[in-house]
Structure 1
Amino acid sequence: MSDLQISLLIIGAVVVGGVYLFNWQQERKFRRKLGQAFDVERDDVLLRAGPQVDGRVEPQLQRGEEPAATHVPGTDEGNEAGSAPLAPAAAPGFDTAIDYVAAVDGEAPIPEAVIDELLSRVAACGKPYRAAGLEVESGQWEDLTRAAGARYTKLRLALQLVNRGGPVNPAQLAMFCDAVRGCAGRSAASTSCPDTQAALKAARELDGLCAEVDIAIGVNIVAADGAAFPGTKIRALAEAAGFKLEPDGVFHFRNELRQTLFTLDNHEPAPFLPEQIKSLSTSGVTLLLDVPRVTDGPKVFDRMLDIGRSLAQALGGKLVDDNRVALNEAGITKIRQQLAAIHATMEARGVGAGSARALRLFS
């Protein structure tokens, strides 16, 4: 190899090395700036660790599923037929903490047949949903119903991420988005569906949080060995105490807003049906408080306990826990403490027990 060739090789190596070094320095500089721009910790109130709640406490803590302020971010994915907002504005009454909200925005009123088909397809997803339309003349959002007429230029559809049936799954969310996009396609409208992967992740996290606080407190009234309570006497005493027998075969004790505070159910499998209660007898009944669905739980628990004691005395039975052990003040105090802890956890995570959000999640 000649001296000229060796010199050229050395010069070439130096040039290549210089270019590589320059690119490496630029990449480090870019990464450092990028890290500084995005290295911000975000504190999600909903994901803070709250008080731990035991799965069972005597007399009875039965597992059954806050809303959490879990946000479902919007992305460009799924936007069709023109540009649309990254996160569609929710209609009044929608809750973006627990709802996956999609939008259909048109210039002209959307045909009634298209809306009917959309609602049918959304209902088939298998999760609770809400729908609203922006009325042409009034400019107000209205609940969307069938046979509404071609009066809406904009629609908002919300699929609930979690209920007691569990979190929304990929197939349900895909079906929902397909229905929304199909509606937009048939009405020459634009559509916006937020990032489904982010929504599924949020749903799983929210479901886990709900499971931590989904507790029912039960108190049993049992008859003496070999004895039984007549159904007619149970009904008379329950109604005198303020309960009402409802179609589900359970006595409900409701507040002035018609919300169930606690229930009285047959300790045996047979429900309390009006046509059968006259001939029914049972070895016991159960008072049950659905903790996340009730405001001011400790106060409601005390009221349920007072009624339970009165019923036990009138029926000639005993107030016991799920192991048929008589209740004592130590056990009752522990229940009150656990109940207060559960409600505090829910409040800290963005959902008050008995609130509208809680009633939707725990249904």
Structure 2
Amino acid sequence: MSDLQIILIILGVFIIACVVVYNWLQERKLHKQVSNEFIVPQKDVLAEDFYIDTDAFVEKELAEVSHKIKHPVFEESADLPARSEEVVFKNMVLEDTVLKEAPLKDPVLNEATLETALNETARNELAAHTDNEHPLNFAPANQVTSIESVIEKPDEDKSGEIDYTPAQLPNGIHPQIDLTAILYANKNISYQSLYDMAASIDDIGLPILIYGLDDDDKWHLVETNDALQVDVSALTFKQATCSLQLADRGGPAAKNVLNKFQFAVENMGLELNAHVEWQGSGDVVQRAIEIDQFCIEVDQLINIHIAQAEAPIHGTKFRGLAEANGMTLGDDGKFYYQDTTHKSPLFTAIEANNQAFTAESLRNSVLKAITFQLEIPKVPNCEQAFNQMILVAQKLSSSLNASLVDDNQKPLGDLQIEKIRQQLKVIHATMVARGVMPGSPASMRLFN
């Protein structure tokens, strides 16, 4: 064995020994640290009785409170506003004292008696603490009308400035279903500037609503020149709103889309020299998921079918009966029922196999079944619309000698109809609780 090999073996043994010693020292240090941190308690609180002297604790707390109330500290100062703050505190304390010390024979105190007693007590207390070296000047007694005159109202500013409150959001924006940012401009924003910034965020892929607030506090939807009815070249905005709908029937807005929209709006604020303030609280992604769950819960479609019985259903006869009961054939091949009080149709009627009705097909065809449909979120009063749909369907089924059935082709009787009404009431209440009224513009956007 050569000398080099011997040296290498000795060096290897030395290194292994150093590692073993180092590990032993670290383990010993760790054991000491664990022993110091985990001290074994002398008493087992779970095995032994636990006792608190509640009387002594309550007496101590009451003594501290009594000391704080009965012995207010007055600093010797000639600064009248500092003294007036103490006067307010004493008056609030004395109000409770006067109520407690009122005679039992007269339990009801009118406002005049209460104000007189409070003002008199306050003057006596202040006179007792008046310092000869630093006398305080008070207004005459006839000028002290009430305690409310001493207390400063929180909404009043001594400088005469009124705190700014944000304007109400446009009617086209809903705080529950839209992610909205308000842009407060340092100087008015021209319509063209806001239009150009809106065009720069069109690549998000979802509908974005942008409104501007003019000097007359009127909101204008940007990119809708027909609705403005003013010269857009001279139109300027002191505020603007940017909104993105959080969900629709396609699902919630994706996280990357929401982040992209927020980044674009923040960049818009920098470009327009405006302060950006986001509306709503909580995680935006979670809000979108909750709106989507709400849509799944209430987006229900009611189907009622008129099925052919012994006699066939001729298309010509069905069209005549449908039009006689207030239904009209639309360009999309559906019959719509629309009364005078609602702009949107209450319910529709289509062929059971989803084939579009045409004037030619109705003249030459025999129908096996007709389906009446009602979209609950799109109808302002879904129960009333459902009752009207049942009435029309029953009239048509009776005139056509057909049967009124449900989706399972089972006869639809009064008991099944009443169950549907109860479900309608639950869905209507759920939408009202969320703040999305059935048939409202927000609901129409959400369920389209």
TM-score by length of 1: 0.66
Q: Is the 8 A contact 2:183 2:239 kept in 1?
A: yes
Q: What is the CA-CA distance between 1:91 and the residue it aligns to?
A: 2.5
Q: Contact (CA 8 Å) 1:264, 1:287: kept in 2 or not? A: yes
Which of 164, 169, 188 does residue 91 from structure 1 map onto? Answer: 169
**Quick check: 1:212 aligned with 2:291?**
no
Counterpart position of 1:300? 385
Is there any run of 5+ residues in structure 1 with no aligned partner, and where? 1-16, 18-86
Measured after TM superposition, the shift of residue 158 of structure 1 is 1.4
Q: Could you list the runs of 5+ residues in structure 2 that have no partner in the other structure?
A: 1-35, 37-164, 226-231
Q: Provide, for residues 107-137 of structure 1, a one-character-per-residue CA deviation record: whole Å limited to 9, x for no partner.
A: 344355543344345555344432210224x
Q: In the alignment, is residue 103 of structure 1 matched against residue 191 of structure 2?
A: no
Residues 1:328 and 2:407 are matched in the alignment: no
**Residue 204 of structure 2: which of 125, 128, 137 is its match?**
125
Question: 1:213 Cα deviation (Å)?
Answer: 2.0
Distance (Å, rounded) in 2 between the aligned partners of 1:274 and 1:117:
47
Displacement of 1:196? 9.7
The one of 216, 222, 229 aligned to 1:144: 222
Return the match for 2:286 from 201, 204, 216.
201
Aligned equivalent of 1:340, options 425, 428, 435 = 425
Matched, 1:311 2:396: yes
Structure 1 position 186, deviation (Å): 3.7
Measured after TM superposition, the shift of residue 357 of structure 1 is 3.8
In the alignment, is the contact (CA less than 8 A) between 1:129 and 1:160 conserved in 2?
Answer: yes
Distance 1:251 1:175 in 2: 42
CA contact (8 A) 1:88 1:101 kept: no
**Alpha-carbon spacing, 1:257–1:129, altered in 2? closer, same or farther (3 Å):** farther
Tell me the secondary structure at the aligned position of residue 223 of structure 2. Answer: coil
Report if aligned partners of 1:254, 1:261 keep a CA contact under 8 Å in 2. yes
- Residue deviations 1:32-69, cap 9 Å, x none? xxxxxxxxxxxxxxxxxxxxxxxxxxxxxxxxxxxxxx
| Of 155-164 and 172-181, the range deviating more from structure 2 | 172-181
Secondary structure, aligned partner of 1:106? strand
With a CA cutoff of 8 Å and minimum separation of 6, indicate the structure with the bigger relative contact order. Answer: 1
Q: State the Cα distance separating 1:292 from its structure 2 match.
A: 2.5
CA contact (8 A) 2:214 2:238 kept: yes
Q: In 2 relative to 1, CA 229–174 (structure 1 residues): closer, same or farther, beyond 3 Å?
A: farther
For residues 209-233 of structure 1, give each alpha carbon's deviation from its aligned partner in whole angstroms, at most 9, with x where no partner exists. Answer: 2212221111001223794532x43
Change (3 A) 1:259 1:144: same
In structure 1, distance between residues paired with 2:265 and 2:184: 11
Partner of 1:154: 239
Which residue in the other structure is 1:183 paired with?
268
Following superposition, the deviation at residue 320 of structure 1 comes to 0.9
Q: CA shift at 1:274, angstroms?
A: 5.4
Q: 2: distance between equivalents of 1:273 and 1:129?
A: 37
Letter aligned with residue 116 of structure 1:
Y
1:284 aligns with 2:362: no
Larger radius of gyration: 2
User: Could you say which residue in structure 2 is the equivalent of 1:243?
Assistant: 327
Q: Distance in 2 between matches of 1:339 and 1:105?
A: 42
Cα distance in 2 for partners of 1:223, 1:210 equals: 35
Partners in 1 of 2:427 and 2:297 — Cα distance? 9
Distance 1:298 1:194 in 2: 34
Cα distance, 1:337 vs structure 2: 2.0
SS in 1 for 2:204: coil
Inter-partner Cα distance in structure 2 for 1:310 and 1:355: 30
Distance 1:91 1:194 in 2: 10
SS in 2 for 1:260: coil
Deviation at 1:144, TM superposition (A): 2.1
Residue aligned with 1:316, SS? coil
What residue is the counterpart of 2:347 in the other structure? 262
Q: Show the counterpart of 1:55.
A: none
Return the offset for 1:265. Answer: 1.5
The amino acid across from 1:246 in the alignment is G
Q: Which residue of 1 aligns with 2:336?
A: 252
> Number of paired residues?
278
Matched with 2:314 is: 229
**Higher relative helix content:** 2
